[in-house]
Amino acid sequence: MRWLLNNYRTENRKQKTENRKQKTENSKLKTHINTLTRGNNMAAPYYKEGVLKDGTRVILRPLVQEDREKLIDFFRRLDEKELSFLRNDIRDSGVIDHWVSHIDYQRCFPLVAEAQGRIVGDATLHMRKVGWKRHLGNVRVVVAKDYQGRGLATLLINELVELAGEFGLEKLVAEVHLQAVAALNVFKKAGFSVKAVFEDLVKDPHGRSSDLVVMVCDVQGRDRR
């Protein structure tokens, strides 16, 4: 019994040490993010904690340049079907290098969900500073396989809608592949409605055509509900 108790105490000390290290890293990252977002004219520094349906806690924060390796690891964990729904070939590390090297929070706000030191969700809010679509934002969301069905996608979309209001946007647009049924349901749950379906407009990596669904969320209208 004594060896069992000693083993428990040793493991408990290790866990406490790991928790302190993670807390310190999170604190440093939060300070770094606050500095970056202030420099990009954000209304307020952005760093939140979210809780999923099963009680799992995730950190919601902007993507930073130092996330390169974490982002590459995140996209490597997606399967072929999920990759086929993406606009870019993220298997090319050069694509991610370009993303993290050209971050402009006023043009594209990249929001990531992090758990246990790894990225488990990626959502982006794309904006235009001028032109006849300057009141619109486009949203895209990707969630790791092991975090799907746990409420993370809904959490990320709701955060983007809230951010859109802070940026002064009036409507959000999501373009969803017709075969991405789970994505269609998540956006609908978050307050998006189908406005148009374009037949055979998109093609997968194998050249197969499919329909594109355009969904819209009234940001200001949702705030009044």
Q: What pLDDT is stored for residue 10 in this prediction?
A: 61
Inside any domain, residue 8: no
Mean pLDDT score of the chain: 81
Q: What pLDDT is stored for residue 22 in this prediction?
A: 47
Inside any domain, residue 30: no
Place of tokens 């998006």: 192
Any idea what the CATH number is for the domain that residue 124 is in?
3.40.630.30
Inside any domain, residue 12: no
Contact 153, 143 (CB under 8 A): yes
Inside any domain, residue 213: yes
Confidence of residue 201 (pLDDT cuts 50, 70, 90): confident
pLDDT single digits (tens) 16-39: 555 555 455 445 444 544 554 454
Give how many domains the chain has, as a whole number. Answer: 1
Inside any domain, residue 14: no
Mean local confidence (pLDDT), 162-184: 92
Confidence of residue 43 (pLDDT cuts 50, 70, 90): very low
Q: What is the value of pTM for the model shown?
A: 0.76
Look up the domain containing 138 and give its range.
46-224
* Secondary structure percentages of the chain, helix, strand, coil, to 5: 45, 30, 30
Inside any domain, residue 209: yes
Q: How far apart are CA 181 and CA 178, in angstroms?
A: 7
Q: How far apart are CA 111 and CA 141, in angstroms?
A: 9
Confidence check: pLDDT of 224 > 60:
no
The residue with greater pLDDT, 193 or 224, is: 193
Inside any domain, residue 202: yes
Q: What pLDDT is stored for residue 20 in this prediction?
A: 56
pLDDT single digits (tens) 134-147: 999 999 999 999 99
pLDDT single digits (tens) 76-121: 888 777 766 776 666 777 788 888 888 899 899 999 999 999 999 9
Half-sphere exposure of residue 49: CA atoms within 13 angstroms, side-chain side: 8
Helices (H), the chain: 2-39, 68-76, 80-84, 93-101, 152-166, 181-189, 219-224
Of all residues in the chain, what percent carry a pLDDT higher than 70? 75
Inside any domain, residue 152: yes
Mean local confidence (pLDDT), 155-174: 94
